[in-house]
């Protein structure tokens, strides 16, 4: 079985992003870029499945600028076998991303697709569900545990508001990862060298998806969130309780 | 003019407050009609929705075998019904996040995720980058599919509605997906997502046993309990207590946290809280930058003292 992992290059999660003064976007010049943390977990899960002998190839794919090659190389240094870059100078929105990924699926015929539940830049949380829909296959979103149970069946534990929900899906399927699914491995220097020789296929988005359907949502403006008012520091529990009582928050 | 279809959420016996919050947001569209689609086994839930002020019609779709919880089973019906509406909205809870993008894909549109402000029927504000930036977006597709950030809206409380209820049965339940089980870390404490007071603990609490003092304090003041991701990852508390970007986004009147450093991903979850109180032994912890009231000290001394004095 082949596993396809879809990843995205995003501003590193440790960076506190700033809105540009003219409201046209957020400042990304010179900012550290990384694999979306949820996608890193997706890569790790695919590798573990392969290491258990349940898959024989892990292919990573991304849609993005040419710079995204860096993130694909990192994924291959982690252990992915090969990579596909669907090159696009413009940001793609989830519905278009899902259409591109469906084309890649048609080409690659994976038995399982794993991807992060959301990218921490746009926080959309849509692409995996849309992909599963267009592909007409099951989805198991927000996964914190993935187990193979019998032929072609996956049992997935999902992190939901009420606790942990378990569902059973038939393969092929799309799994979207939550943070507690695993802890991604660190890449070692020799693996980075090895990854340089692994195949990385670059395709133009217009060739992969000549006729995208649907329209993009227009972004009119970026702004900084309203800052909270500056608070106060107290010295003692008595002072704290007085304030809480004053505000009517405790009796 | 606008016509809105809202996807209701429930736990089998109770309609989730997220439904009433989406309703509050939908009312800002000045729509001609707001209808609600409900997938459930129990028709009693349909009456609960029908009583919500401002609902015109409840489309109650009866389901068996927990298919009401499965996105693949219910999304086709939501999308089919949605064709008669200008807006098809759900809550940005894990349930809504699972289902609504499927609906959007079936209707051939991108979704507006996490609406926090309605500017007009086509223009909305939503957070990106864990809330570090807010964007204004515009879309004029035939259907606008969206999730509503529930912490941004108060629940519609008036229960004087008398919507008509139309019943049908679920068709095309997915055969490739089955529901197996739900395990809840549920306690008798107030629900974290709707409580007016929340007491949270982080990695600083140190162990599952130590969390007892956090629970005791919560019980003393009638609060729900929450936690940071670090506390959940370390196994001190169940996952449903996590507050933040990947946990619950909450807006209680009082949020009091002990031994939480204040990472941006945690702060995303509490931005809309009325009063944030932070107790941390490190005077430089970033949580103090957002706290309304801060106290530097050891939580193992401060909690017992509060128990005594409250
Ligand atoms: C993509 C992504 C998503 C994330 N989503 C979330 C999320 O949803 N929610 C979330 O919370 N985090 C999330 N995180 C993790 C986040 O970055 C932090 O790692 C996490 O919030 C830290 O938890 P903490 O504050 O409990 O632990 P720490 O940062 O370790 O802080 C512990 C604090 O306890 C204090 N302390 C220790 N002992 C005591 C004592 N005796 N008395 C008083 N204070 C004491 C310390 O001074 C310290 O400030 C996410 C991270 C990523 C990458």
**pLDDT 10s digits, B267-290:** 999 999 999 999 999 999 999 999
Question: In terms of DSSP H, where are the helices of B33-183?
Answer: 44-50, 71-82, 94-107
The predicted model gives B96-100 an average pLDDT of 98
Confidence of residue A151 (pLDDT cuts 50, 70, 90): confident
A148 lies in some domain: yes
Do B274 and B138 reside in the same domain of the chain? no
DSSP string of B264-305?
A: HHHHTTTTT-SEEEEEES-TT-THHHH-SEEEES-HHHHHHH
pLDDT at A227: 86
Residue A114 predicted with pLDDT over 80? yes
Residue A209 predicted with pLDDT over 80? yes
The predicted model gives B235-257 an average pLDDT of 96
- Give the domain range for residue A100: 2-217
Percent of chain B with pLDDT over 90: 96
pLDDT at B259: 98
How many C-beta neighbours within 10 Å does residue B148 have? 30
Please report where in the chains the tokens 């399927």 appear, as a residue. A173
B181 lies in some domain: no
For A76, the token pair is: 């291959």
Please report where in the chains the tokens 């591109």 appear, as a residue. A100
Distance CA A242, CA B67 (A): 51
Residue B188 predicted with pLDDT over 90? no
Residue B4 predicted with pLDDT over 80? yes
Q: Residue B42 gets which letter from DSSP?
A: -
Distance CA A131, CA A71 (A): 22
Do B46 and B121 reside in the same domain of the chain? yes
A103 lies in some domain: yes
Tally the domains of chain B.
2
The predicted model gives B161-169 an average pLDDT of 96
Tally the domains of chain A.
1
- Give the domain range for residue B262: 197-309
Residue A131 predicted with pLDDT over 80? yes
Closest chain B residue to the Cα of A20, Cα to Cα: B133
Cβ contacts from A onto B, under 8 A = 237
Q: Which conformational region is residue A168 in: left (phi greater than 0), alpha (psi within -120 to 50 degrees), or beta? A: beta
The secondary structure element, H or E, covering residue B112 is: strand B112-115
The beta-carbon neighbor of A179 closest among B99, B127, B229 is B229
Do B208 and B136 reside in the same domain of the chain? no
Confidence of residue B55 (pLDDT cuts 50, 70, 90): very high
Instruction: Give bridge partners of residue B114 from the DSSP assignment.
Output: none
The predicted model gives B93-102 an average pLDDT of 98
Residue B185 predicted with pLDDT over 80? no
End-to-end CA distance of chain A: 62
The beta-carbon neighbor of B180 closest among A137, A168, A229 is A168
Which residue, B47, B50, B55, is CA-closest to B26? B55
Q: What angle do CA B261, A161, B155 make, to 5 degrees?
A: 95
Q: What is the pLDDT of residues B225-241, one digit of tens each?
A: 999 999 999 999 999 99
Does residue A172 have a cis bond before it (omega within 30 degrees)? yes
For A108, the token pair is: 């690659």
pLDDT at B116: 98
Do B43 and B91 reside in the same domain of the chain? yes
Distance CA A37, CA B174 (A): 31
A230 lies in some domain: no
Shortest-distance Cα residue to atom 30 of ligand 1: B203
Confidence of residue B1 (pLDDT cuts 50, 70, 90): confident
Is residue B198 within 8 A of residue B256, CB to CB? The reply is yes
Confidence of residue A229 (pLDDT cuts 50, 70, 90): confident
Sheet holding B293-296, edge to edge: A232-234, B293-296, B275-280, B254-258, B197-201, B224-227
Do B7 and B133 reside in the same domain of the chain? yes
Confidence of residue A230 (pLDDT cuts 50, 70, 90): confident
Do B219 and B134 reside in the same domain of the chain? no
Q: What is the pLDDT of residues A161-207, one digit of tens each?
A: 999 999 999 999 999 999 999 999 999 999 999 999 999 999 999 99
pLDDT at B93: 97
Torsion of CA A177, A179, A185, A186, to 10 degrees: 120
Residue A111 predicted with pLDDT over 80? yes
Sheet holding B87-91, edge to edge: B112-115, B144-148, B87-91, B3-7, B33-40, B57-62, B164-169
Closest chain A residue to the Cα of B272, Cα to Cα: A228
Q: Is the CB of B298 under 6 A from ligand 1?
A: yes
A248 lies in some domain: no
Q: Which conformational region is residue B17 in: left (phi greater than 0), alpha (psi within -120 to 50 degrees), or beta? A: alpha
CATH number of A7's domain: 3.40.50.620
On chain A, the residues whose CB falls within 8 A of the CB of B187 are none
pLDDT at A150: 82
Closest chain B residue to the Cα of A181, Cα to Cα: B233
Is residue B226 within 8 A of residue B200, CB to CB? The reply is yes
Which positions 153-212 of B are in contact with A (Cβ < 8 Å)?
A: 174, 176-186, 193, 197
CATH number of B282's domain: 3.40.50.1220
Which residue, B41, B54, B72, is CA-closest to B4? B54
The predicted model gives A55-61 an average pLDDT of 98
What is each CA distance from B16 to A166, B11, B63, B88, B113, in whole angstroms? 20, 7, 18, 18, 19
B94 lies in some domain: yes
pLDDT at A207: 98
Query: Relative to the CA of B246, which ligand 1 atom is closest?
Result: 8
């Amino acid at each position: 079985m082949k596993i396809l992992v879809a990843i995205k290059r995003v501003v590193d999660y440790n960076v506190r992003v700033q809105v540009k003064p003219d409201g046209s976007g957020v400042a990304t010049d010179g900012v550290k870029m990384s694999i979306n943390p949820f996608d890193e977990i997706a890569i790790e899960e695919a590798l573990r499945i392969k290491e258990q002998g349940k898959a024989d190839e892990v292919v990573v794919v991304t849609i993005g600028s040419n710079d995204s090659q860096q993130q694909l190389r990192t994924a291959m240094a982690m252990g992915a076998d090969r990579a596909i870059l669907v090159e696009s100078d413009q940001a793609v929105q989830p519905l278009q991303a899902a259409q591109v990924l469906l084309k890649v699926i048609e080409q690659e015929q994976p038995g399982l697709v794993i991807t992060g539940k959301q990218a921490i830049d746009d926080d959309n949380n849509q692409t995996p569900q849309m992909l599963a829909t267009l592909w007409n296959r099951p989805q198991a979103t927000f996964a914190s545990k993935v187990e193979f149970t019998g032929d072609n069946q996956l049992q997935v534990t999902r992190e939901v508001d009420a606790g942990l929900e378990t569902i059973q899906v038939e393969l092929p399927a799309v799994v979207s990862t939550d943070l507690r699914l695993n802890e991604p491995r660190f890449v070692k220097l020799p693996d980075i060298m090895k990854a340089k020789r692994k195949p990385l296929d670059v395709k133009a988005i217009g060739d992969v998806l000549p006729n995208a359907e649907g329209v993009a949502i227009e972004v009119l403006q970026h702004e900084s969130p309203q800052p909270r008012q500056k608070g106060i520091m107290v010295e003692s529990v008595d002072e704290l309780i007085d304030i809480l009582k004053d505000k009517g928050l405790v009796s | 003019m606008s016509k809105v279809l809202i996807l209701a959420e429930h736990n089998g016996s109770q309609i989730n407050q997220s439904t009433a919050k989406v309703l509050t947001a939908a009312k800002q569209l000045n729509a001609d009609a707001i209808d609600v689609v409900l997938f459930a086994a129990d028709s009693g839930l349909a009456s609960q929705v029908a009583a919500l002020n401002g609902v015109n019609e409840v489309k109650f779709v009866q389901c068996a075998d927990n298919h009401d919880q499965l996105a693949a089973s219910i999304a086709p019906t939501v999308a089919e019904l949605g064709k008669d509406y200008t807006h098809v909205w759900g809550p940005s809870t894990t349930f809504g996040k699972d289902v609504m993008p499927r609906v959007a894909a079936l209707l051939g549109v991108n979704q507006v995720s996490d609406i926090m402000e309605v500017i007009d029927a086509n223009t909305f504000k939503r957070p990106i980058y864990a809330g570090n930036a807010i964007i204004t977006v515009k879309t004029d597709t035939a259907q606008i599919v969206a999730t509503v950030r529930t912490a941004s809206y108060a629940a519609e409380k008036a229960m004087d509605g008398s919507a008509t209820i139309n019943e049908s049965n679920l068709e095309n339940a997915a055969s490739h997906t089955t529901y197996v089980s739900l395990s809840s870390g549920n306690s008798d404490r107030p629900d974290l997502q709707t409580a007016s007071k929340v007491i949270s603990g982080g990695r600083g609490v140190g162990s599952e046993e130590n969390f007892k003092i956090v629970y005791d304090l919560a019980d003393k003041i009638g609060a729900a309990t929450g936690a940071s991701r670090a506390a959940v990852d370390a196994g001190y508390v169940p996952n449903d207590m996590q507050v933040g970007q990947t946990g619950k986004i909450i807006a209680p009147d009082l949020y009091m946290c002990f031994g939480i450093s204040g990472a941006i991903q945690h702060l995303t979850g509490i931005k809309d809280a009325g009063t944030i109180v932070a107790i941390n032994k490190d005077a430089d912890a970033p949580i103090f930058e957002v706290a309304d009231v801060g106290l530097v000290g050891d939580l193992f001394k401060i909690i017992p003292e509060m128990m005594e004095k409250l």
